[in-house]
Amino acid sequence: MKRTCMRTGRSTLTAVLTGALALGVFTASPAEAADTGVTVTNVVVNGGKPIVVGISEEKHPSVGFRMTWPAGYSSDDITAFPYLYHDTTAAKGKESGGIYTGFVTYYDDTPGSADVEGQLYIDPRWTLDSTNDATTWKIAVNVRLWATETKLKAEENLTGLGTVQVKRAARATVNASPEPVAKNKTLTVTGKLTRADWGREAYVGYPDKLAKLQFRKAGTSTYTTVKTVRANSTGSLKTTVTATTDGYWRWTFGETSTTGGATAAGDYVDVQ
């Protein structure tokens, strides 16, 4: 049996509050915070890859896990919503900058178990408060076991299910000049590295980052690294090379523990 549970996305402040309440995480009274008997295993978020987030684009990382439940119940009696947190206590919920469920679908394959697939929901304008959110997040699942359609029997937050990295999206630009340039003359290649600042809702300079200057000869498909340059305090790059043949120039750098990698589109230079 296939069953899907949806939750309203959070694109405004009202929707943020509504979404958190609709999910119902962290609202149970102590009497309700009891063992549900539900187990969750094999949790995978975003295909096991880091989640790279910009300043405005909504992200919908995939999530999947295996769920089993006690005899006498069915998946219709259970709500299981995965979420991410990076505070020390999962029960803090929104105060810890939680990332919540967009939707989940249960695929029952036995009377007591199901594979669960779905998506988390991230709107960086509301979900991510500062660059401190570029860190390792813990994976948890809020489970509710219902005695009836409206009567909650038990609720718990299952933790220790793994971690996932959330990273700041980055960008790189390039400009090579003069264009065109005489053969064997000096070509100046500039650019800038920036990355998302969620608190400021803007891309800001990525200072002191090493970037590779690469060149692709016209008519070929492979870039070759020419030199490595460190960005200055504002994220700007500048170097000179000797122009010998037509081709494309670009800056590129790899991801770090807090920031995704980026590669500029190639800037074509005609050598005459």
pLDDT of the residue at 242 = 98
Instruction: Judge: domain 170-269, CATH 2.60.40.730.
Output: yes
- Encode pLDDT of 151-176 as tens digits: 999 999 999 999 999 999 999 999 99
Is the predicted pLDDT of residue 124 greater than 50, yes or no? Answer: yes
CB 157 within 8 A of CB 175: no
Q: What is the pLDDT of residue 33?
A: 46
For 2-167, give the CATH class.
mainly beta
* pTM, entire model: 0.85
Q: Could you tell me which of 137, 118, 116, 117 has the C-alpha nearest to residue 51?
A: 137
Quote the CA–CA distance of 83 and 99 in Å, as a whole number. Answer: 5
> Where in the chain are the domains?
2-167, 170-269
Q: Check if 2-167 and 170-269 are the same fold.
A: yes
34 pLDDT tier (thresholds 50, 70, 90):
low
- Largest Cα span, the chain: 81
221-248 residue pLDDT tens: 999 999 999 999 999 999 999 999 999 9
Secondary structure, 3-state, the chain: CEEEEECCCCCCHHHHHHHHHHHCCCCCCCCCCCCCCCEEEEEEEHHHCCEEECCCCCECCEEEEEEECCCCCCHHHEEEEEEEECCCCHHHHHHHCCEEEEEEEEEEEECCEEEEEEEEEECHHHHCCCHHHCCEEEEEEEEEEECCCCCEEEEEEECCCCEEEEEECEEEEEEEECCCECCCCEEEEEEEEEEEECCCCEEEECCCCEEEEEEEECCCCCCEEEEEEECCCCCEEEEEEECCCCEEEEEEECCCCCECCEECCCEEECEC
Query: Mind listing the pLDDT tens digit for each residue in 170-204?
Result: 999 999 999 999 999 999 999 999 999 999 999 99
**Which of 100, 98, 107 lies closest to 121 in space, CA to CA?**
100
| Res 167: pLDDT | 98
Q: What are the beta bridge partners of residue 202?
A: 197
